[in-house]
């Protein structure tokens, strides 16, 4: 499958890229700086450019079959309000619709949309607004991003993630739509596998599962 991956230089993006290549997908990535990618693979195409430039995005998407969007702001960001991910997603969605590319898998956070109800009140009322303001800022932007995707004509899956830990795979991934069984974390390899597997799976089309180990 010909896949375009946005966010390939990030913490999760690097692992998702390796998983996609391992599964023999032909992957094109858009990066701000090619030097950030030290991976050399026959089925990898690296394009340098800005995801907020719709002409660049349109060019990168040509002839692709599906898109994975795992954009971030660089770790925890700077704590200031941002619209980067939602702005980029709007461009990606619009260009996908123009080119009639249907399949989109996008990364979000547990706490965005209705998944905020999966969290204990102490976390949502005390921890998040007062002690994890950086995460609150990111969730705010994911709350702008998600409706852009959900209101599109695409066959989308939004994957809501808890804390992503850089540990060996556990080989399990619980995906829930109602929060039942949701844990506090997921390993990076298990998340990457779930994201890439969605390229060929249909169970969560037009759904927003929250995932964890």
Q: Tens digit of pLDDT for each residue in 127-138?
A: 555 446 667 888
Q: Write out the residue range of the structural domain in which residue 198 sits.
A: 2-212
Please check whether residue 190 is in contact with residue 171, taking contact to mean a CB–CB distance below 8 angstroms: yes
Q: State the pLDDT at residue 115.
A: 87
Rounded distance between C-alpha atoms, residue 10 and residue 158, angstroms: 18
Per-residue confidence at 80, pLDDT binned at 50, 70, 90?
confident
CATH number (domain holding residue 176): 3.40.50.720
Please check whether residue 207 is in contact with residue 175, taking contact to mean a CB–CB distance below 8 angstroms: no
Number of structural domains in the chain: 1
For 81, other C-beta atoms within 10 Å of its C-beta total 10
Per-residue confidence at 117, pLDDT binned at 50, 70, 90?
confident
Rounded distance between C-alpha atoms, residue 48 and residue 33, angstroms: 6
Q: State the pLDDT at residue 78.
A: 65
Q: Which of 69-83, 147-161, 165-179 is least confident?
A: 69-83
Please check whether residue 66 is in contact with residue 101, taking contact to mean a CB–CB distance below 8 angstroms: yes
Per-residue confidence at 146, pLDDT binned at 50, 70, 90?
very high
Q: Which two tokens stand for residue 75?
A: 């770790």
List of residues 6+ apart from 131 with CB closer than 8 A? none
Kindly state the average pLDDT of the residues 59-80: 87
Mean pLDDT score of the chain, rounded to an integer? 92
Alpha-carbon Rg for the chain, nearest whole angstrom, is 16
Length of the chain: 213
Kindly state the average pLDDT of the residues 178-199: 96
pTM of the model: 0.93
Q: pLDDT above 90 covers what percent of the chain?
A: 80
Q: State the pLDDT at residue 76.
A: 63
User: CA 22, 23, 26 angle in degrees (round to 5)?
Assistant: 90
């Amino acid at each position: 499958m010909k896949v375009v991956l946005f966010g390939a230089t990030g913490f999760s993006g690097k692992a998702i890229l390796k998983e996609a290549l391992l599964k023999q997908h032909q992957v094109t990535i858009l990066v701000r700086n090619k030097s950030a990618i030290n991976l050399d693979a026959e089925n990898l195409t690296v394009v340098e450019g800005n995801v907020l430039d719709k002409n660049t995005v349109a060019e990168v998407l040509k002839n692709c079959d599906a898109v994975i969007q795992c954009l971030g702001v660089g770790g925890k960001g700077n704590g200031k309000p941002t619209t980067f991910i939602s702005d980029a997603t709007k461009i990606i969605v619009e260009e996908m619709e123009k080119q009639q590319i249907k399949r989109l898998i996008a990364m979000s956070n547990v706490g965005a949309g209705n998944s905020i109800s999966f969290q204990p009140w102490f976390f949502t009322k005390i921890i998040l607004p007062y002690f994890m303001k950086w995460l609150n800022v990111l969730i705010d932007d994911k709350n702008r991003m998600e409706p852009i995707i959900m209101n599109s004509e695409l066959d989308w899956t939004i994957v809501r993630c808890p804390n992503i830990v850089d540990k060996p795979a556990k080989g399990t991934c619980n995906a829930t739509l109602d929060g039942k069984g949701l844990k506090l974390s997921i390993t990076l390899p298990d998340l990457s596998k779930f994201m890439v597997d969605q390229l060929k799976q249909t169970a969560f089309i037009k759904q927003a599962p929250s995932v964890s180990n």
